[in-house]
Amino acid sequence: MKPAPFRYADPLTLDEALAVLSDEGEGAKVLAGGQSLLPLLSMRLAAPATLVDINRVPGLDTVKATGDGVTVGALVRHARLLGGHPDAMAAARVQPLLARATANVAHPAIRNRGTTVGSIAHADPSGEMTSVLALTDGSVTVATPNGVETVGWRDLFVGPLETSVHGPAIVTSAFFPALAAHSGTAFAEVARRKGDYAVCGGGVVVTLDADRRVAAVRAAYVSVGLTPEVHDLTDAVIGQPADSADWAAAGAFARTLVDPDTDLHASADYRRLLVGVLTERMLAEAAAEASARVTGE
């Protein structure tokens, strides 16, 4: 349970970090929060030749909330997006899903160290933030020696623990677009122990029209499927009043759309059942919030 030997660099600028990544080639890996990477190293599931630790690179630890959305820098720890932190409150006003999902990410000690962007770049199908990026139709900014590019979530997630980011490249931030008007969100998980990887989890966005009738319903799940996917559940409840819509029907519809796997912790059938139950619960909650936002105008 000790990492295999590697070389280590902790560059002081982004350019320097990209230069080391270029020099070291294929075997180099970026280290940010390390809360997923270090267990992989200790279990020898990964043995990179070089770790490029970006923790000393300045400018990557900012949370910027504007009317368009929330930009989270690569060194922003999960804890920053939670609770009483001023950054969290500013972000929650623009996109409440961020804090809601982050509350389900691991335990306090992990959240103090792990980063939101690192968890996205890690692309674990049981990670929360990958699903939030998808559900909000977000993107990441990737720095390479040739410049900076923006990659949308659909092009980012290739497979479990695999993204389209290759070669000397660093994901420097993630952008979560603002929640649309007349919309509400919810996020929920079932886990064996609070903070553990979810057996099944998910988030929803419900959008109403001015008469508080359902206009759009989207959902994304955690620990269900190999890569994040956004499911459109609108057809099950379209036009129904927010306070009496048939959310159970939307939950039942969601069950037909997902394709979970069986593992040690749960069968595929049980996961599908949880998708239905959680979806129904979350939609009622999100619709109530959306309804309050229509009133608030």
Partner 1 sequence: MSTDTERTVTLTVNGVPREATVPVRRLLSDALRHDLGLTGTHVGCEHGVCGACTVLVDGAPVRSCLMLAVQVDGHEVTTVEGLAHADHQGGQVLHPVQEAFRECHALQCGFCTPGFLMTIAAGLEGRDNSAELTEEEVDDMVGGNLCRCTGYANIKKAVHHAAATMRDSE
Q: Cα 261 to chain center, whole Å?
A: 20
Contact 135, 220 (CB under 8 A): yes
Which of 217, 206, 223, 216 minimizes the C-alpha distance to 272? 223
- What's the rounded Cα separation, in Å, for the pair 132 and 153? 10
Pick the piece of the chain touching partner 1 (CB under 8 A) from 105-113, 261-269, 274-282, 287-295: 105-113
User: Mapping DSSP to helix (H, G, I), strand (E, B) and coil, where does residue 190 land?
Assistant: strand
Smallest gap from Cβ 204 to partner 1, in A, equals 23
Pick the piece of the chain touching partner 1 (CB under 8 A) from 11-19, 152-160, 173-181, 241-249: 11-19
The backbone region for 241, taken as left when phi is positive above 0, alpha when psi lies in -120 to 50, beta otherwise, is beta
Cα distances from 186 to residues 36, 98, 194, 253, 266, in angstroms, run 25, 10, 17, 18, 23
Report if residue 34 touches partner 1, rule: CB under 8 A.
Answer: yes
Out of 61, 64, 90, 113, which residue is the one contacting partner 1 (CB under 8 A)?
113
Out of 25, 43, 146, 180, which residue is the one contacting partner 1 (CB under 8 A)?
43
Binding mask 230-259 for partner 1 (x = CB under 8 A): ------------------------------
Report if residue 86 touches partner 1, rule: CB under 8 A.
Answer: no
Out of 44, 93, 107, 192, which residue is the one contacting partner 1 (CB under 8 A)?
107
Contact 173, 140 (CB under 8 A): yes
Strand partners, 9: 52
Report if residue 189 touches partner 1, rule: CB under 8 A.
Answer: no
Binding site for partner 1 (CB under 8 A): 1-11, 16, 19-20, 24, 34-35, 38-39, 41-43, 50-51, 53, 55, 79, 106-110, 112-113, 193-195
